[in-house]
């Protein structure tokens, strides 16, 4: 899955919940927060499907 697709999905979820999406660039990952949920997204163009699904599930994004 493309990193850009994950970031769009996270942004849409934040908007759906009426919360702000907080993005902090780290060394090799991007830290993302929506409300009280936090996760990291690797800075690769392509992210493994299993990792991508786990990130989205953790952040409460429905498929």
Report the CATH number that the domain containing residue 41 is assigned in CATH.
3.30.920
**What residues contact residue 6 under an 8 Å CB cut-off, 6+ apart?**
41, 47, 52, 55, 56
Give a yes or no: residue 63 inside a domain: no
Backbone region of residue 3 per phi and psi (left: phi > 0; alpha: psi in -120 to 50; beta: other values): alpha
Give a yes or no: residue 16 inside a domain: yes
Give a yes or no: residue 8 inside a domain: yes
Whether the per-residue pLDDT at 62 is higher than 80: the answer is: yes
Determine what percent of the chain is predicted with pLDDT higher than 90.
94
CA distance 57 to 63: 8
Q: Provide the whole-model pTM.
A: 0.91
Whether the per-residue pLDDT at 63 is higher than 80: the answer is: no
> Could you give the number of structural domains in the chain?
1
Mean pLDDT of 2-17: 96
Beta-ladder partners of 61: none
Lowest mean pLDDT among 5-9, 26-30, 59-63: 59-63
Q: 13 near 20, Cβ under 8 Å? A: no
For the record, the structure tokens of 10 come out as: 């996270």
Range of the domain at 30: 3-58
Which pLDDT does position 15 carry in this prediction? 96
């Amino acid at each position: 899955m493309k990193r850009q697709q994950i970031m769009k999905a996270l942004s849409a979820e934040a908007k759906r919940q009426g919360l702000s999406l907080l993005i902090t660039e780290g060394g090799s990952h991007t830290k993302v927060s929506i409300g009280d949920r936090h996760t990291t997204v690797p800075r690769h163009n392509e992210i493994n499907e299993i990792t991508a699904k786990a990130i989205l599930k953790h952040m409460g994004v429905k498929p």
